[in-house]
Structure 1
């Protein structure tokens, strides 16, 4: 009986801590053909396969429910290497299925123009500019995705000094219209890493 109660409690807390929008989720399988076509047409390497991403460690603040449930530490985030473009098997970031679908397409265009190496933040700013140059029709979708994602980002004022500085850089990068020049990361002790901030779903 105690084990059953514990299991039900854990399930309840885990559901309560979940910040995704399952009712508006879009699966990679449902858009994979479109993703592959866009990746190729935007200049992506022909030998790269689109595959589901595995969960990886993520950064950023967690609320008390996530800490209680032990969640919010891992997520499937996009990754690109010489052989694969790994995308989340399901995207439920937004409470709008159209935005979740658009995010898959944006990530495909971003990957097509991404140059491996370099610092994470400037590299993604430059890749965003290149994606918009190659696929100008994506600009309205990019703008909607940016606005929706910025509304989800942690409030800088609520973070400690180090986390606030990192988050401010990310939000500045997202608010700027990409112009093809890497964003200077001034006064940083080291280059910003993805795990220094909450996941930037657009990168």
Structure 2
């Protein structure tokens, strides 16, 4: 089969499981444009009878780090920047104090749904580092982020060790790929000022 006669197919996976697939050329072209960042704006294309739309008022698909991070979290660029303040230089995040206070108020102190302060900061750093590859998240960086807003934290090493979606490898904090959904759910709750408990 030559390149000009190749069958084009879009396959949607959830982990290793195929959820759906399509040979629709318009869908394939729209997906390719999106992946390559050629869309130039919010991904909103009518493909066949399906309306494909990205959540948030202006989630840009310019291919930049902040837009990609916002897409992962499931919020608009403006919401992400307002709440997390991602930046290319240390400490890499500048948490909004009002969002922080709302998160503390809406999050249980112990038990189901509790998220220690250091875990939130580390989760946000790990999410940002996946797109802004100029740094590697560490416990010290997470502490620096919290110190900027005067947030209280205790037992940082234990907090990280007990977190299912974060792992420590050679002193660096990384995301447990099997728990990425949970990590992004925590960040979404922080950015939107919602409760972590579904």
TM-score range, shorter chain: under 0.3
Higher relative contact order (CA 8 A, sep 6+): 1
Larger helix percent: 1
Normalising by structure 1, what TM-score? 0.26
